[in-house]
Every structure is written in C-alpha cells, then in structure tokens.
C-alpha cells in the first residue's frame, strides 16, 4: 500500500517535477542595430514571455523545455518565429525587420501632385482643394496655387510649365473630357465644369505622366469619382448667386447609392450691387443638374453611373475698341450634357478590369455685333460631341508591382457654323497602352510604359515611350526622375480648316526631391521640356514650330509651426520660349511669367468655430503684343506684376438638426489692378487692357445639410 | 490491477494538470485584469506590456475570448497613447485582429462592439480633418450596435460621452450632452454586477475623471 502510495505521489508530481525553471534572456534590435522596446517575446503555447525594455533587453524564466517555438512580435515589424531547445539558460540576439506598408513604400512622384483621402503618402487631401481661398471651389483655380501652374486670368485652363491651356487634358475615371470648362467669352476665364465634391482623388501632373493618358503635351488632370457615401444625406443652400439642393441616398444594405444635385444661378441681383467692367445685357444665369447611381455589384465590383447637364446664358455690352463711340455686344447660350459609366471588377487570377464609357455633348450659340455698325452681326453655332469607350486591365505582379494594359476609342464630332459658313469634321481616335510599375525593392520603383495612338482626322499615328524612377532615401524623403514623349493633335480651330497636319510633340525630363513628414512637406523639382512640331499659322498652316521650357519649382507646406494653422508656399521659376502660330521667332510667349509664387494660409479658431483662409498670388509681368514695335521687338513689352489677395471666412454651427455653414469669400481684397495683357485696335492707336470683369468678386452663402456633415464641402463652394 | 491503477493515475495526473492549467488561466487573468484597474498601467509602455501579456495568454489558450478581448482593449489604448501618428493604424490593425478573434469565439457582443467603436475613434486621430467624418460615423454605428445588444452597458454611454466631449461643437460635439451621458454611464456602473473578476467592468474611474474635466 505504501508502495502504491509512493507511486501515486510520484505520478501526481510528474507535472510538478517537470517544472524546472530556466532563464531566457536577450536583446531585440532592428536591422540597423537600434534597440526595440515593447517587443512581445513569447514561447508558443505557453503564458511565459516578456516585453522588451527601452534598451531592447528582455529576460524571463520558464518551465518549458525541449524544442519550442519562440515568437517575437511588434507592431510595424514582421513577426519572427525561431525554434529553440529550451531547458537551460539561453541568450538570444533577435533582429526584427520592418513591415513594408504604404507609408514606407516609394511612390512615383516626379511631376505629380496627388490629393487623395485613401492613400496616405499624398501631398494634399481633397479637402485642401476646396478650402483654398480664392479658388471658389473650382478645382483648377485651387491647383493654380501649386508649383508649375501659371496665373493666367484671361483664359481658362491650366497653363503648365510653358504650355498653353490646350496642352492640359482633364480625365474622369480614365476618360478624356472634351469640355471641362463652361463656355465663356473672349478674354475672361470660365470656371471648371465639375464640382470638386464629385471626386475622391485628384492628381495634377505637371509633366512626365503615365502612359494611361494621352493627347496632353504638358499636363494631365486626373480625377477619380467617389464611391458609396457613408450614409444618406440631404442638403440645401442659398447664396448670393442662387439656391442649390442635393440628395444622396444610401440603401439599407449599403450596396447602392443614388442621388441628384441641382442648382440655379442668376447674377442679376449681384450685378446690381457690384458694378462690372461691361454692361450686362443678360445677367449670367442658368442651371446645373446631376444625377448619379452607384452599385456595389459584388465584394470587389463597382458600377458607377453619372450624368450631368447644364444650361447657361449671358450677354454683355462694352465700348468698342475698333469703332470709338460704338458698343460691342456679345451674347452666349450654352447647353452641355456629360455622362460617364464606369465598371470595375476582379476577373480572377490577379486580373482586375476597369471598363468605362462616356458621352458628352456641348452646344454654344454666340452672337457678336458692333451695334449700329456695318458689317452685319456674327452668329456662331458650335457643337462638340465626344463618345468613347475604354478598357484597362491590371494585374498585380509579385508583392507590389503592377502591370496595366488597356485601349481606348474615341469618336469626336466637331461642328461649327459662322453665319452661313460651315466648318465640320469628325475624328476617330484609337489608342493602346502598356505600362508596368516594377518594384525592384520596396524603396526603388520604376514605371515603364508606352502608348500607341492613331487619329483619323490627320491620319497619323505615334508611339510614345514613358519612364519614371523613384528611390526612397529614408522614411520620409525620396528622389524621382521622369522622362516621356507626349503627342497632341493641333487645336480644333485649325483642324476645321486643314487636315494636312501632324502631331505636335513634347519631350519631358524631370528630376524631383520630396520630403514628406507628418506635418511638413518639402518638394523641389527641376524640369526641361522640348517642344517639336508646334503648329504654325504662317506662311500657312504647318508643323514647323519649336520651343523649350525649363525651370525650378519649390513647394513647402507646414501644418505644425503655427497653432491651428496650415499654410503652403509655391514658387515656380520658368524660362520658356517658343515659336508657334504667327510668332516670327522663338520668344517668351504671352501666357508665361518668369516668376510665380503663391502663399495659401488656412486658420481655424476653435473657440468661435471660424475657419479663415487667405491666398496671396504673385507673378512677374507677362509679355504682350504691341503692334507699334518692329518685328525685332516682338512681345518685348511686359504687363505690370500680378499681386492678388483672396480671403474666405467660414462659420460652422448647427441649426436644429442641420449642420450649417456660413460662407464668405472675396477675391482680390486689396483691389490690386489685374493687368493680363492688352488689345490694340487695327490702326494701332488705341488699346484696351485685358483684365477681370470686376476688380473684386465676393460670395456670401448659407448651406445646410441633414444626415451627414457636408458643410466642409460647402466651404468655398462658390 | 497494476495496469488499471496505472491508467487511473495517469488520468488523475492529466486532470490535475488540466485543472492546474485552468487555475493558471484564472490566476493569470485575474492578476492582469486587476492591473488594468490601476492608473499606473496606463502609460504608453505599461499598456503595451499589458497588451503583450494578454496576447500571450490568448494565443496559449486559443479558446477563451476574454484574453483576446483584453488584448484588443489594451492595443486600442496603445493606439490612443502613441505619439507617432504613423504607427496608429498599425497598432489599431493589431487591436482589430484581436477583437475579431474574440468575436469569432464569443459571437456578437456589446463589449466587442465597444472595442470596435474605440478602434474607429483611434483612427480619427491620425488626421481629424479628413478622417473625422468617415471614422466618426463608423465609431457611432458600433456604439449603436453595442447599445442595442446591451442597453445596460455603462461603457457604451461613457464612449458616447467621450465622443461628444472631443468632437468640436461645430461638428455636433457638446460638453453639456457629454456630461449627461457620463452621468447616465455612472448610474449604469453603480448597477453593474460583474459575474467575476475578469468580466469586462472597466471605465468607472475614467468616467469620473472625464466628468471632472467638464467645467
């Protein structure tokens, strides 16, 4: 019995006998031998373990023995598992490798400014665009505060690095937009057609952009439409130019959303208060409406349908330059419809499809007359239709690399009638592209692509190679280089008269340095751009034009030094000359300024819930044509320097259940004279200054939203 | 006979070991959860250490939801504490992995929804201007869910109050409303009777601290 008892004791004690303790200790560092604190060291399947101290050391005792797995883990590092024979005291020197996340990865950055909520390593957020003072919620006006863009006030569009506005193309979900701007009158820039709130991402490329896009000699503005909203919302607004209403419904299952927005504007009351340079005969008025439908077709699939339409008309009368004492009349009526359908889905085996189609039509009727003066008035009817379809396939290669292949087809119908004279043409455009982002390492990436294009109107094709490299120097900074060939067909107004032309071409070389810290951004870029085959109009239409642009650009953004404030400074130095159209030789063109600088400042006062913003822009004088000078002094005159300060104030509050924002914005607060250029009469005796319609523009509005806080969107809505 | 005895003994030895194991679990959990009641644990290094310990217990046990729950709770606090905004998302992701494992073992639960709400709130801190709306909403939705499952959960009201307290008034925040929520929460705390020492019961002292901040 005793014997039995002793056996029993032994058996029962077996688990206890095994509890011999041994000490496990060591040190954890990263790959650069820096100690890591807070690391969880554990023996798999047991409670035993420790957390490393500040100097990376750890020590714990364990009863575990035999071959066990030791797990070593810390947020931001790859978990390490090692096999070890336990039972005696052991020392471990452990090294953890950092995980590669988006923030640590290098990105293609040369020449591009990206604003996105989803991606972390971008210079801007979509909100930054809409809250920029003076931009009045116009994407293009906001982008003019970035380096590379010129402060051109008399023509719409982005004039980038010595390029004209025509050389910048706008793309929505990969598809080209034919009329990205409202129709305006000569010498007065019109607004962009699309509200910034339609897009979740905006990429402004000032050169060297991807082979996915074509037909822009200088620049691409790439817009990506929003996905499903967070929840349903309704909004109402009333402002000094008119009312607006919006609805955005998200279904219960969160798979579908649909909505519409509509606004009506009429500047007649505003013009009663603010005198304009010219007499409005029809105050600008019109209406915009848009509807959208978004459907999550599956876990990975998304269908988006977007339709927008607008109608506007206006008329002005001003002093005639040509016939003193007489009046010039200009009236315009315009319709526009833009539709876009986009479908994305995974096809399996790592392939993803992006299929899109778009149709747009724009019709303008223009009436121009010198009142009570022969010749008869000019009546212009213009219509532009563009239909297109685009397919892109992407496939992930390895961990980070991506292959993109795609093709697109566009059918453009351009018609115009000057009184009884018709000038119409159609153009079929086809393109294919292939591009790969190759990550040699997470810190070193190359993008290599090429694009083939054919356009029927001039029966020409081209092959455009593009390449970018980017290398990450450390956690925050990277250097990048880009090279590319870019082709574009001549402008519509010349193609109407001759099809015997070729593509214009530009070659880009860009080197850039970027440091992106949590609260600071610094970017410096140098570029060289060579123009070939630019369109000339003398002696007759030909492609003998040439040009170059080179320069240095700086961007500094600081969100920390001043409490509750965020500011950025852009500076562009541009040295450009070109010989195009009727220029006698290569010369600095009239849309280019040598120095351009912008300060954008935003301040939030929490106690009063005020957002204040100011934008100051400066540009040196631009050349203008003076017919009284000899040809050897062509474009020798300069306008005065441009200085302009715009401010905005937003007051956020809640009225009942509605989030409400009061918005006040004013451009050119100091009333500086804006001199964009001069127009001369044909006898060269008189001239008119080209400038804005009024020295200042102000907007006052109130906006309410129910359900979702969309006030931020309304800030600067005008 | 000997064989029978032997096998009997083996069995008793195994049950003994198993009981030791479950006692070890109770003891370790009680000790660790007890540490969470003391404010000194709530330092960046202290909470990280607690999270590590809970993760070790969770991964050794594999079938208990509470260690995963507490690991997530500590991780999300670590995310709130961290000074390096670039790390918030990674730490929050770790909290999410833990709470998802807890949910897989426990199913839908008011306490788990509270943690999910906290994870969303932690992500706001990275960039309040651009993330406030999206994650603020996500956080609110998890709290609604938590309240639906257990209207008597004091932590729900505490978290609601906290969100009202830290949201700028312009975006729907309100100190007075926050105070009401905290008071409601304290009433629920008074009525709360945790089944044992390791059932989630945290938050009362913290709520009192928050309420004292409101002038």
Nearest CB to A125; choose among B24, B87, B130: B130
Q: Do A75 and B168 touch (CB under 8 A)?
A: no
B chain contacts of residue A49, beta-carbon cutoff 8 Å = 52-53, 56
Is A75 touching B (CB cutoff 8 A)?
A: yes
Strand partners, A570: A555, A598
Nearest CB to B133; choose among A71, A75, A709: A709
583-622 in chain A: CB under 8 A from chain B? 606, 609
Nearest CB to B87; choose among A75, A654, A709: A75
Nearest CB to A51; choose among B9, B48, B169: B48
Is A281 touching B (CB cutoff 8 A)?
A: no
Nearest CA in chain B to A104: B86
What's the whole-number average pLDDT of chain B? 88
Closest-CA distance, A624 to chain B, in angstroms, reads: 43
Closest-CA distance, B186 to chain A, in angstroms, reads: 28
Q: Do A606 and B10 touch (CB under 8 A)?
A: no
- The mean per-residue pLDDT over the stretch B155-159 comes to 96
Is B24 touching A (CB cutoff 8 A)?
A: yes
- Residue A112 is encoded by which pair of tokens? 């591009």
pLDDT band at B20 (very low <50, low <70, confident <90, very high): low
Nearest CB to B130; choose among A7, A12, A127: A127
Q: Do B16 and A47 touch (CB under 8 A)?
A: no
Q: Do A11 and B10 touch (CB under 8 A)?
A: yes
Q: Mean pLDDT for each 10-residue chunk of chain A (718 residues)?
A: 52 51 91 93 91 94 88 92 87 89 80 78 76 83 93 93 96 96 90 87 93 97 90 88 92 91 94 92 95 95 96 95 94 97 94 97 96 90 97 92 97 95 96 96 94 97 97 92 97 94 98 91 97 95 97 94 92 98 96 97 85 95 96 96 94 80 91 93 93 91 75 45
Distance from C-alpha of A565 to C-alpha of A286, rounded to nearest angstrom:
37
Nearest CA in chain B to A125: B130
Handedness of CA B153, B154, B159, B165 (dihedral sign): positive
pLDDT tens digits along A449-482:
999 999 999 999 999 999 999 999 988 899 999 9
* Predicted pLDDT of residue A604: 86
Q: Is the pLDDT of residue B6 over 70?
A: no
Q: Is the pLDDT of residue B5 over 70?
A: no
pLDDT tens digits along B94-130:
999 999 999 999 999 999 999 999 999 999 988 777 7
Nearest CB to A49; choose among B56, B93, B170: B56
Distance from C-alpha of B73 to C-alpha of A556, rounded to nearest angstrom:
39
Q: B interface mutation test: which of A4, A18, A24, A51 has the most B CBs within 10 A?
A: A51
Mapped onto helix, strand or coil, the DSSP state of residue A172 is: strand
Closest CA to A206 of A137, A156, A160: A160
Q: Do A127 and B56 touch (CB under 8 A)?
A: no
Q: Do B52 and A654 touch (CB under 8 A)?
A: no
88-147 in chain B: CB under 8 A from chain A? 90-91, 93-94, 127, 129-131, 133-134, 137-138
Three-point CA angle B112, B114, B120, nearest 5°: 110
Is A136 touching B (CB cutoff 8 A)?
A: no
Three-point CA angle A80, A86, A87, nearest 5°: 160
Q: Which residues of A623-658 are buried (b: 16+ CB within 10 A; e: fewer)?
A: bbbeeeeeeeebbebbbeebebbbbbbbbbebeeeb
* Contacts by residues A63-66 (CB-CB < 8 Å, ≥ 24 positions apart): A63/A18, A63/A19, A63/A20, A63/A21, A63/A22, A65/A18, A65/A20, A65/A22
Is A76 touching B (CB cutoff 8 A)?
A: yes
Strand partners, A646: A615
Nearest CB to B60; choose among A46, A125, A709: A46
Chains A & B: contacts with CB separation below 8 Å: 96
| Greatest pairwise CA separation for chain A in angstroms | 135
Closest CA to A145 of A569, A663, A635: A569
- Burial level of A489, CB count in 10 A (0-12/13-18/19+)? buried
* Predicted pLDDT of residue A592: 97
Q: Do B56 and A12 touch (CB under 8 A)?
A: no
Q: A interface mutation test: which of B7, B49, B56 has the most A CBs within 10 A?
A: B56
Closest-CA distance, A44 to chain B, in angstroms, reads: 7
Strand partners, A342: A304, A356
* Predicted pLDDT of residue A599: 97
B chain contacts of residue A45, beta-carbon cutoff 8 Å = 59-60
* A434 vs B175 pLDDT, higher one: A434
Beta strands in A210-350 (DSSP E): 219-225, 233-239, 242-250, 256-266, 279-296, 302-319, 327-348
Is B56 touching A (CB cutoff 8 A)?
A: yes
Is residue A76 a contact partner of residue A38, using CB atoms and an 8 Å limit?
no
Q: Do B134 and A49 touch (CB under 8 A)?
A: no
Q: Do A653 and B170 touch (CB under 8 A)?
A: yes
Q: Which residues of A341-361 are buried (b: 16+ CB within 10 A; e: fewer)?
A: bbbbbeeeeeebebbbbbbbb
- The mean per-residue pLDDT over the stretch B145-164 comes to 94
* CB within 8 Å of B51: residues ≥ 6 apart: A40, B71, B74, B75, B77, B78
Closest-CA distance, A6 to chain B, in angstroms, reads: 12
List, as one string, the DSSP characters of A423-448. EEEEEEEEEEEEEEEEEEETTEEEEE
Q: Do A653 and B168 touch (CB under 8 A)?
A: no
Q: Do A47 and B91 touch (CB under 8 A)?
A: no
A chain contacts of residue B131, beta-carbon cutoff 8 Å = 117
**Residue position matching structure tokens 């090279």:** A483
Closest-CA distance, B118 to chain A, in angstroms, reads: 18
Nearest CA in chain A to B93: A75
Nearest CB to B55; choose among A40, A45, A609: A40
* Predicted pLDDT of residue A376: 87
Distances (CA, A) of A574 to A168, A396, A554: 17, 39, 12
Q: Do A518 and B85 touch (CB under 8 A)?
A: yes
Closest-CA distance, A343 to chain B, in angstroms, reads: 24
Q: Do A51 and B13 touch (CB under 8 A)?
A: no
B chain contacts of residue A38, beta-carbon cutoff 8 Å = 45, 48-49, 52
Nearest CA in chain A to B95: A75
pLDDT tens digits along A348-372:
899 999 999 999 999 999 999 999 9
168-207 in chain B: CB under 8 A from chain A? 168-172
Mapped onto helix, strand or coil, the DSSP state of residue A219 is: strand
Q: Do A11 and B168 touch (CB under 8 A)?
A: no
* Predicted pLDDT of residue B21: 64
């Amino acid at each position: 019995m005793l014997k039995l008892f002793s056996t029993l004791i032994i058996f029962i004690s077996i688990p206890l006998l095994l509890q011999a303790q041994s000490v496990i200790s060591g040190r954890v560092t990263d790959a650069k031998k820096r100690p890591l604190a807070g690391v969880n060291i554990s023996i798999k399947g047991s409670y035993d373990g420790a957390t490393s101290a500040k100097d990376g050391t750890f020590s714990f005792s364990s009863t575990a023995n035999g071959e066990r797995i030791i797990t070593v883990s810390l947020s931001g590092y790859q978990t390490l598992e090692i096999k070890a024979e336990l039972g005696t005291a052991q020392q471990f020197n452990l090294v953890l490798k950092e995980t590669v996340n988006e923030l640590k990865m290098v990105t293609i950055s040369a020449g591009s400014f990206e604003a996105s909520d989803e991606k972390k390593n971008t210079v801007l957020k979509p909100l930054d665009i809409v809250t920029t003072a003076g931009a009045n919620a116009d994407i293009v006006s906001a982008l003019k505060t970035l380096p590379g863009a010129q402060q051109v006030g008399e023509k719409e569009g982005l004039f980038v690095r010595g390029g004209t506005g025509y050389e910048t193309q706008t793309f929505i979900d990969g598809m080209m937009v034919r009329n990205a701007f409202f129709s305006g009158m000569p010498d007065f820039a019109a607004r962009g057609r699309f509200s910034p709130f339609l897009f979740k991402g905006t990429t402004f490329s000032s050169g060297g952009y991807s082979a996915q896009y074509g037909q822009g000699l200088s620049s691409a503005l790439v817009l990506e439409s929003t996905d499903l909203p967070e929840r349903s919302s309704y909004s109402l607004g009333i402002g000094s130019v008119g009312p607006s209403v919006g609805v955005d419904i998200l279904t219960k299952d969160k798979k579908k959303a649909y909505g519409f927005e509509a606004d009506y504007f009429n500047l007649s009351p505003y013009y009663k208060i603010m005198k304009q340079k010219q007499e409005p005969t029809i105050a600008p008025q019109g209406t915009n409406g848009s509807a959208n439908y978004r459907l999550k077709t599956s876990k990975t699939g998304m269908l988006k349908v977007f339709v927008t339409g607008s109608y506007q008309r206006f008329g002005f009368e001003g002093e005639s330059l040509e016939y003193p004492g007489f009046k010039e009349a200009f009236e315009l009526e315009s319709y526009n419809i833009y539709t876009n359908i986009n479908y994305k889905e995974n096809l399996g085996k790592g392939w993803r499809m992006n299929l899109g189609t778009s149709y747009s039509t724009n019709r303008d009727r223009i009436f121009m007359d010198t009142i009570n003066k022969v010749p008869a008035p000019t009546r212009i009817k213009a219509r532009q239709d563009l239909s297109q379809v685009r397919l892109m396939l992407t496939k992930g290669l390895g961990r980070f690399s991506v292959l993109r292949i795609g093709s697109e087809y566009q059918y453009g119908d351009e018609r115009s009638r000057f009184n009884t004279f018709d000038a119409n043409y159609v153009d079929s455009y086809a393109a294919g592209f292939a591009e790969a982002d190759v990550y040699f390492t997470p810190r070193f990436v190359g993008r290599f692509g090429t694009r083939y294009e054919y356009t029927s109107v001039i029966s020409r094709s081209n092959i455009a190679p593009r390449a970018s490299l980017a290398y990450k120097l450390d956690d925050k900074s990277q250097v990048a280089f880009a090279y590319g060939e870019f082709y574009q067909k001549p402008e519509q107004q010349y193609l109407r008269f001759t099809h015997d032309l070729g593509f214009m071409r530009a070659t880009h070389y860009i080197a850039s340095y970027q440091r992106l810290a949590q609260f600071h951004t610094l970017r410096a870029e140098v570029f060289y751009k060579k123009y070939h085959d630019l369109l000339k109009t003398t002696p007759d239409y030909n492609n003998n034009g040439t040009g170059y642009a080179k320069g240095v650009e700086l961007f500094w953004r600081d969100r920390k030094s001043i409490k509750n404030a965020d500011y950025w400074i852009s500076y562009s130095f541009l040295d450009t000359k070109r010989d195009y159209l009727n220029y006698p030789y290569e010369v600095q063109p009239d849309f280019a300024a040598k120095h351009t600088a912008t300060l954008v400042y935003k301040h939030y006062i929490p106690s009063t819930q005020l957002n204040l913003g100011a934008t100051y822009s400066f540009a040196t004088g631009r050349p203008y044509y003076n017919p009284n000078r000899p040809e050897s002094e062509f474009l020798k005159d300069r306008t005065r320097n441009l200085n302009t300060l715009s401010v905005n104030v937003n007051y956020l509050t809640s009225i009942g259940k509605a989030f409400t924002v009061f918005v006040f914005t004013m451009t050119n607060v100091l009333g500086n004279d804006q001199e964009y250029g001069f127009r001369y009469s044909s006898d060269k005796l008189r001239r008119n200054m080209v400038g804005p319609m009024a020295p200042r523009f102000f907007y006052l509005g109130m906006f309410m939203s129910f359900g979702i806080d969309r006030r931020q969107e309304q800030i600067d809505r005008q | 006979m000997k064989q029978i005895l032997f096998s009997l003994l083996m069995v008793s030895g195994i049950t003994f070991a198993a009981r030791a194991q479950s006692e070890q679990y109770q003891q370790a959990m009680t000790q660790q959860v007890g540490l969470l009641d003391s404010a000194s644990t709530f330092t960046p290094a202290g909470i990280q250490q607690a999270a590590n310990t809970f993760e070790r217990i969770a991964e050794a046990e594999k079938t208990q939801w509470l260690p995963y729950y507490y690991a997530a709770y500590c991780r999300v606090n670590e995310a709130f504490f961290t000074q390096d905004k670039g790390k918030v998302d990674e730490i929050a992701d770790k909290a999410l992995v833990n709470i998802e494992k807890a949910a897989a073992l426990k199913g839908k639960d008011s306490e788990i929804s509270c943690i999910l709400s906290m994870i969303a709130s932690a992500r706001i801190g990275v960039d309040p201007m651009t993330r406030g709306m999206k994650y603020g909403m996500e956080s609110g939705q998890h709290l609604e869910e938590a309240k639906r499952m257990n209207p008597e959960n004091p932590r729900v009201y505490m978290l609601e109050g906290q969100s009202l307290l830290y949201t700028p008034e312009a975006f729907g925040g309100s100190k007075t409303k926050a105070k009401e929520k905290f008071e409601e929460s304290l009433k629920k705390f008074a009525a709360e009777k945790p089944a044992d020492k390791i059932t989630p019961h945290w938050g009362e002292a913290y709520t009192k601290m928050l309420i004292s901040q409101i002038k």
